[in-house]
Amino acid sequence: MRLRTFCMGCGAMSLVLGCKDKGDTGPAGRFAAMGQLIDNDGAMAIVGGAVSTTAQGPLRETWRLSLHDWTWSKGPTPPFATCRGITARMGDELHIFGGSTTGWDEHAAHWRWQTADGEISTEVDDGPGPRFKHASAVDDDGARFFVLGGRNNDTGEDVYFADLWSWTEAQGWTLLSTTGGPHGLHRHVMVWDPDRRLLWVHAGFQPPREDPGGEPVRSDRLWTLDPATGDWTEQAWTGDGPPIRASHSVSLVDDRLVVWGGSAGDDSTWTYALADGTWTEHPHDLAPLSRDAMVTDVTGDGRTLVFVGGDPVSEDVPNFVMDAWTLDLDTLEWTEHIPIGG
């Protein structure tokens, strides 16, 4: 059974141009790329991303990072530049949906990357509208993925989405009915719970608790969403929880959520026990620089989080980066594999 994690593919818009080009040795530093593990967890696939916040910032490229020797190789060229979208792995195929392209215009393209032969094709289907900063999760059967929320501002005015969609090979896109829940969700993260058959949705931008109809703000709220019934349930907890954040990562391992990163500037890892609703902070002596808009996924055995790149919150690193780390989800210890600038 594959346990999934997904980091929302967009961070705060930095005004600084991307990090130095590393030539043929690997991709330039970037934020808001999309990607997941492929090749039986032997590689991380990276799609697009952005090296700056200028109109030409989004990238038209893909890369593979070998987890055997931590070396990069160039992948197939996608139809156009993209960032701030989602990916969903289904078998040997990586689905890529939505995001922003050149000029930061939103799109609703749905691509299928056949990771075995390297081909990327365009799926012609009637699904969610153009959006960015949405979130995705794949169910434990690996035959269905979900897309939730997002945002569009092509017209100059923000439009927020609270819709939940599913996609299967047999049915294509299906808009699922939901009841209640937060509107305006974007830069949130979510993960599928195979035992309870529901989605856990954490933080990002949501309406304040005291003003459910208000403008979305950076949040610490935690919800479950049952796609079978459409019911939203907000989860309470005892004691302190993680600071408000967005564009972070969430994993589900052994009946606990594992949260790291985001725009909070918090280097700790946080765990949430599903059994009793308690958060626990886990500080680190060695850890990556806090950041958002990185690419993350969990290995098929559910024991290791792999993450690459992103937008460091620290002012000491003014550029986007492309380092690589793993987190042991049993011991919560980090290992660095590619340093910043390496």
Q: What is the mean pLDDT of residues 66-76?
A: 97
Report whether pLDDT(192) > 50. Answer: yes
d(CA 265, CA 316): 13
Report whether pLDDT(5) > 70. Answer: no
Predicted pLDDT at 8: 39
Report whether pLDDT(24) > 70. Answer: no
Of the pLDDT bands very low, low, confident and very high (cuts 50, 70, 90), residue 261 is very high
Report whether pLDDT(18) > 90. Answer: no
* Position with higher pLDDT, 332 vs 5: 332
> How open is the CA angle 267-286-299, to the nearest 5 degrees?
80
Predicted pLDDT at 9: 42
Q: How many CB atoms lie within 10 A of CB 301?
A: 12
- 74-95, pLDDT tens digit by residue? 999 999 999 999 999 999 999 9
Which tokens hold the place of 62? 């893909």
Which tokens hold the place of 49? 């991303």
At 231, the amino acid letter reads D
Report whether pLDDT(15) > 50. Answer: no
By percentage, how much of the chain surpasses pLDDT 90?
78
> How open is the CA angle 160-161-165, to the nearest 5 degrees?
165
State the number of CA atoms in the 13 A half-sphere of 144 facing the CB. 20
Predicted pLDDT at 223: 97
